[in-house]
Amino acid sequence: MDATVNDSSRYLFTPERPQYWRGIKEISPKLAATLIVSEDSNFYTHHGFDWEMISDNIQNFLSGSDKLRGGSTLTQQLSKNLFLSPSKSLWRKLREIIYTTLMEMTFNKRELLELYLNSVEFGGEIFGINQASNYYFSKSPGDLTPREAAFLIMLLPNPPKYATSFNQKELTPYARKTIANILNFMVIAGHLTDDERKTQLATPFSWEK
């Protein structure tokens, strides 16, 4: 295990939970759905590795296409967040495969979602969905609206960069487009009606200008 391991890893095999931790039942189902449709649409059917996505990426790469999908499942991201440093090497990739396989064998999907949402970074020193929902929206993760959930998921690739919208109290064009796209995915996946999507898009965040 790398020296830079996420502190949340020490809670994997113990009933002990830190004060900020929230169980999956305390988190809005819309948030979990938003995470899945945005980051890992095959989460409930794969076993840690999305071979369909990997195959599509290989075919697109060989054909010279730049339409490459994200390369990591939520379980892979979780194993990297908890156990691995950001360095890139063949040995690190092998360890990622091992950790991902072991986590899929040890935890069910609801447990993996809970672990992910309580350990992922949403900004400098903001770890876990409870801290994030309170910091960005002054509410608990169980009370997040679909649009608020979409904003938090939008942050995940690079929280310091994409939190610009919050810091400036106005959505950047990228943030506005990405949030709209995520809500569209929610409709396609059956988690929102089109009327609900339109209502969400028309409802500004409490901090928006």
Domain coverage including residue 63: 25-202
Residue 102 belongs to some domain of the structure: yes
In Å, the largest CA–CA distance within the chain is 50
> Per residue in 140-158, is it b (16+ CB within 10 Å) or e — as a string?
ebbebbbbbbbbbbbbeee
How far is C-alpha 196 from the chain's CA centre? 22
Is the pTM of the predicted complex or chain greater than 0.95? no
pLDDT per residue over 22-39, tens digit each?
999 999 999 999 999 999
pLDDT per residue over 47-82, tens digit each?
877 666 555 555 554 555 544 444 689 999 999 888
Residue 78: CB atoms within 10 A of its CB come to: 26
* Cβ pair 20, 130 in contact under 8 A: yes
In three-state secondary structure terms, 122 is strand
What CATH number did the domain enclosing 181 receive? 1.10.3810.10
User: What is the total count of domains within the chain?
Assistant: 1
Residue 54 belongs to some domain of the structure: yes
